[in-house]
Amino acid sequence: MYRLLTVLLFGATTAAGAQPLPAPAAVRRIADSLTRAFVAERGAPGVAVAVVRGKDTLLLQGYGMADIENEAPATARSVFRIGSVTKQFAAAAVMQLVEQGKLRLDGPIGEHLPQLPETWKPVTVRQLLNHTSGIPSYTSLGPVWAARWGEEMVPDTIVALTSGKPFDFAPGTNWSYNNTGYVLLGMLIEKATGRSWGDDVIERFARPLGLSDTRNCMNEPVIPRRADGYENKDGAWVNTKYLAMSQPFAAGALCSTVGDLVRWNRALHTGKVVSAESYRMMTTAEGAALRGARQYGFGLQVDSVAGRKAISHGGGIHGFITANTWVPSAELSVTVLSNSGTAKSGELLRKLTHAALGVPLAPPKALVP
């Protein structure tokens, strides 16, 4: 869980600029049809999507049910857990602190977190950001971690889950997606700012950028319009397993709406959140990160669609799958939020992105009689 979901944007070969962008009304019609089909084919009980290209809102709408038991429909303002899309918020916060001189990108994390195991202390902030630390990820513990999903945990307890285990590899020598690393980044943010991770998100991003529904998604508070999460069991929707939401922390604990993520995408990718150099590092795989299967920077990965650069990240957490991308050359923001732990949100996002760029969609498979 809180995993990166690779958004499958590859496969189209049209060169950037060669394909004229379709009219908004045409995109809206296709995107609406694609999303209705996604729900009708039981991709998820509910989904909210946003497709915004430049100044044109091509689609901003909810479909299906946000809460099956209470028959509450999904809308564009439904609040979903966004899983590992949280990581780009954490990475941006760290980069702001680096710019302010409160953290050093290549400084050892033990400078700020003396309670860590001795072997962890030399790991650098950069290595946490791009998943090259080698520190074992607690979400890879399998049944050992699953047995404790219901426990509320402070960050030190989360760290203790893997603190006695050997490194996956020597720091800075390889790449492996790592949720413990982003928990540590949340701890660094708290230490540098003197406030909680959740409060920092509100003060640093939500209030200044008008992200009124983006917050630390704890179970206990009443969050208006919050969607419930589901899994598909033998063809029927069932409530997802309970997860104490203190556990994801800065690795995956935020919830948001499609409207907020449109605003976030535009702010982050047009220079309103971090400096140009910080943004370059966030969107560039370097060093040992180049050995990974993905072009992963800091909380973001770079893909391509129809010959265009696309900057993406997905997220999976109990009962929810998120896909989110930005195509700079078209100022295109596409977000899919779904409340099923098995939803193929990345596939829907790929189709919506292609539709917005005028890339021909593959014809549906013929039904076998």
What are the pLDDT digits (tens) for 175-194? Answer: 999 999 999 999 999 999 99
Least confident of 9-23, 117-131, 186-200, 282-296: 9-23
Please report, for the chain, the start and end positions of each structural domain, with discontinuous segments joined by +. Answer: 24-357
- Give the model's confidence band at 38: pLDDT under 50 very low, under 70 low, under 90 confident, else very high: very high
Segment 194-218 shows an average pLDDT of: 98
- Give the model's confidence band at 19: pLDDT under 50 very low, under 70 low, under 90 confident, else very high: low
Q: Which residues contact 142 (CB under 8 A, 6 or more apart)?
A: none
Q: What's CA 16's distance to the chain center, in Å?
A: 26
**Cα gap 183→228, rounded to integer Å:** 24
**Which residue in this structure is represented by tokens 């049809």?**
33
Q: Which of 327, 286, 294 is nearest to 308 (CA)?
A: 327
Segment 266-292 shows an average pLDDT of: 96
Domain spanning 24-357, CATH class = alpha beta
Q: What is 148-181 written as a DSSP string? A: TTTS---HHHHHHTTTTSPPSS-TTS-----HHH
For residue 144, pLDDT beyond 70: yes
pLDDT of residue 12: 35
Q: Which residues contact 210 (CB under 8 A, 6 or more apart)?
A: 263
- Give the model's confidence band at 294: pLDDT under 50 very low, under 70 low, under 90 confident, else very high: confident
pLDDT of residue 9: 39
Mean pLDDT computed over every residue of the chain: 93
For residue 17, pLDDT beyond 80: no
pLDDT of residue 307: 87
For residue 30, pLDDT beyond 60: yes
For residue 149, pLDDT beyond 80: yes
Q: Which of 168, 134, 132, 167 is nearest to 288 (CA)?
A: 132
Amino acid present at 266: R
For residue 369, pLDDT beyond 70: no
Q: pTM score, two decimals?
A: 0.94
**Cα gap 103→114, rounded to integer Å:** 15
Segment 265-291 shows an average pLDDT of: 97
- Give the model's confidence band at 212: pLDDT under 50 very low, under 70 low, under 90 confident, else very high: very high
pLDDT of residue 365: 52
- Give the model's confidence band at 2: pLDDT under 50 very low, under 70 low, under 90 confident, else very high: low
Segment 350-368 shows an average pLDDT of: 79
